[in-house]
Amino acid sequence: MGRTLFLGDSHAAGYYFKDRPYQWEHNYGDSYSKLHNKDVIVYALPGATNKKYPIWLKSMLDRYDDIDEVFVQSTYWNRWLMGASKKLNYGDGTTSDMFLDDRYICPNNDKIKYYTDWRATDDFIEIPEQCRSEIFEQYKGITYDEDNITPDWAPFHEKYSYTRLYHEALTHLQYRDYNTDMFVINALCKERGIKWHLWTMNERVYFPKYINLFGPLTECSNKDISAETFLKSNHNISIEDHQIDGEHYPPNVHDLIAEHYFTFLKENNNG
């Protein structure tokens, strides 16, 4: 029996609640490991973007040769990556594990291995960010003249957070990037003969109807139903009623996802 890899955000990596960090204590990966008595890898980061996932997958495939299934927790589209190079270079020749943080040892399950990311190395910085209420601005509209785009065009002079939201995240560019990232994941899995499962935690996460811009995701199951909707429809359980901080869920919800929802994904592979 091989290993299962989970890629995710704070639902897997941990979060703060009432000023106390909840890090790696109990998540769907841990639940899955115990349920199936299986070796599991969880690579996750609070606030992670979908853009992180292809490089995470590559770094784990470089490190392990026995991964036999992958679960990718598709997350919020209002998140992005901000990077910096201290020496102003492109990082040509950097490796898939350049930000890998492998310090954590799980204290209560020797079948699980956790990975997350550093935010900075000696030469580079990579930080996930998102549209937060304190920096949010209403959309100002746009005046566009194809023949007269000059350096004084208003969108060129907005704050980056505004530009990132209204001129990238809420446009076709985000959809195109998402398709690119998922296609790369599919190619990496196909090369190793690995089936993977694309899923969402709740209905607040946007999930596109079409993820075939560059071709079909042949190795992937991606049913257009979130864990929230599946558990409500099939088990009459509203996970939103169990929220502990407006976003995260207690251990019993993670257990239900691992036992019932992941089984549904695996049994309904439409790759």
Query: What percent of the chain is predicted at pLDDT more than 90?
Result: 68
Give the confidence band of 271 by pLDDT, cuts at 50, 70, 90: very low
Instruction: Count Cα atoms within 13 angstroms, Cβ side, for 12.
Output: 31
Please state the domain extents for the chain: 3-132+173-267
Q: What torsion do the CA atoms of 70, 74, 80, 84 make, to the nearest 10 degrees?
A: -10
Q: Band of the pLDDT at 154, cuts 50, 70, 90?
A: confident
Assess contact for 262 and 71: CB atoms under 8 A.
yes
Torsion over CA: 149, 154, 155, 157 (sign): positive
Joined together, the tokens standing for residue 171 give: 């446009």
Residues in the chain: 271
Model confidence over 221-249: pLDDT tens digits? 887 899 999 999 999 999 999 988 888 88
Q: What's the fold here for domain 3-132+173-267?
A: Rossmann fold (3.40.50)
Enumerate residues 6+ apart whose C-beta is below 8 A from 39.
Answer: 1, 2, 3, 4, 33, 66, 111, 112, 113
Confidence class for position 132, pLDDT limits 50, 70, 90: confident
Q: Is the pLDDT higher at 135 or at 51?
A: 51
Which pLDDT tens digit goes with each residue over 85-124? Answer: 999 999 999 999 999 999 888 777 889 999 999 999 999 9
Task: List Cα–Cα distances, 227 to 136, 183, 271, in angstroms.
Answer: 29, 23, 19
pLDDT in tens, 18-45: 555 555 668 999 999 999 999 999 999 9
**Could you tell me which residues are beta bridge partners of residue 221?**
197
The mean pLDDT value for 48-64 works out to 97
Helix (H, G, I), strand (E, B) or coil at 123: coil
